[in-house]
Amino acid sequence: EIVLTQSPGTLSLSPGERATLSCRASQSVTNNYLAWYQQKPGQAPRLLIYGASSRATGIPDRFSGSGSGTDFTLTISRLEPEDFAVYYCQQYGSSPYIFGQGTKLEIK
Amino acid sequence: EVQLVESGGGLVKPGGSLRLSCAVSGFIFSSYTINWVRQAPGKGLEWVSSISSGSSYIYYADSVKGRFTISRDNARNSLVLQMNSLRAEDTAVYFCARAFRGFDSWGQGTLVTVSS
pLDDT, one tens digit per residue, over A41-62 is 999 999 999 999 999 999 999 9
pLDDT tens, residue by residue, B38-63: 999 999 999 999 999 999 999 999 99
Residue A67: per-residue pLDDT: 98
Percentage above 70 pLDDT, chain B? 100
Give the integer Cα–Cα distance in Å for B20 and B10: 10
The β-bridge relationship of strands A103-107 and A10-13 is parallel
Instruction: Write out chain A residues lying below 8 Å of B97, CB-based.
Output: 45
Which chain B residue has the Cα nearest residue A104? Answer: B44
Q: Do B101 and A51 touch (CB under 8 A)?
A: yes
Chain A residue with Cα closest to B57: A95
Residue among B89, B101, B4 at smallest CA distance from B39: B89
How confident is the prediction for chain B on average, in pLDDT? Answer: 97
What's the pLDDT band for B9 if we cut at 50, 70, 90? very high
- What would the mean pLDDT of B79-108 be, rounded to a whole number? 98
* pLDDT more than 70, % of chain A: 100
